[in-house]
Amino acid sequence: MNKFDLTGKVALVTGGSYGIGFAIASGLAEAGATIVFNDLRQDLVDKGLAAYAEKGIRAHGYVCNVCDEEAVQAMVAKIKEDVGVIDILVNNAGIIKRIPMLEMSAADFRQVIDVDLNAPFIVAKACIPGMIEKGHGKIINICSMMSELGRETVSAYAAAKGGLKMLTKNICSEYGMYNIQCNGIGPGYIETPQTAPLRERQADGSRHPFDQFIISKTPAERWGKPEDLAGPAVFLASEASDFVNGHILYVDGGILAYIGKQP
């Protein structure tokens, strides 16, 4: 019996048109899951559907703002009608605003909390009843190094991702009795559009200072690739992790274990 086999499972990956969500969804599909994803705009959903099709994955795409509880409830109901009850939820959709705290408006702070913390609550709340009905469920919240560490300009994001770590532990505590496992994945620094500004080549062609900094802080001496997250996600989405609950699996090349290379 292959405990990593996801055949027959319906997986919803929020914000799965590209980046980490797309890579995780692709890994879940490779393990047999049926992929459902959402994005904010139809053109992005269409772009995502084309990208999945290019990999031979017949995905189902929905336009939905994960912050809108009514829209999320309606999307989950539509997915049940079109595809089936969601067995696996990956709360991946997220934003970041890199602004020094004293220059950050409360509105900007709230927007980051809304997408990165309130929305995972909203989507999990919409999916859990179906998981209870089916007698099993897997929730994977995409946390961050900032679930454990702070740094300049990311106060809202760190607050949200720290909260998401505790929301993960709370869902574990409240719904573990229904055979629902809720865990987190904490990616390190990954090459996606979200971190592109931190990797931009300088005018003289040299690496961005932050790029060099991350290389010095990562034992693997490289940025992560979205594909590095697929295997850990398959593990946490599969029966192989049925007794793993409330855990944040850091997939960071060793950053959290390392003081950093001496300059």
d(C-alpha 228, C-alpha 153), whole Å: 26
The residue (of 67 and 104) whose beta carbon lies closer to ligand NAP is: 67
- Mask 6-25, x = binds ligand GCO (CB under 6 A)? --------------------
175 is known as an active-site residue: no
The one catalytic residue in 18, 52, 62, 157 is 157
Got the DSSP string for 186-242? EE-SB-SGGGHHHHPPPTTSPPPHHHHHHHHH-TT-S-B-GGGGHHHHHHHHSGGGT
Scan for tokens 């961050």, then name that residue: 144
- Contacts to ligand GCO from residues 120-159, by CB under 6 A: 144-146, 151, 154, 157
Q: Which does 98 bind (CB under 5 to 8 A by kind): ligand GCO, ligand NAP, none?
A: ligand GCO
- Contacts to ligand NAP from residues 7-66, by CB under 6 A: 14-15, 17-21, 38-41, 44, 65-66
SS (H, E, C) 87-130: CEEEECCCCCCCCCHHHCCHHHHHHHHHHHHHHHHHHHHHHHHH
| Least distance between ligand NAP and beta carbon 87 (Å) | 21
Q: To the nearest 10°, report the CA torsion of 224, 226, 227, 230.
A: 110
d(C-alpha 121, C-alpha 131), whole Å: 15
The verdict on 95 binding ligand NAP (CB under 6 A) reads: yes
- Contacts to ligand GCO from residues 89-108, by CB under 6 A: 96, 98
Q: Please identify, among the stretches 27-35, 92-100, 103-111, 214-222, the one whose residues bind ligand NAP according to the rule CB under 6 A.
A: 92-100
List the one residue from 91, 168, 181, 195 that touches ligand GCO (CB under 6 A): 195
Catalytic residue ranges: 157
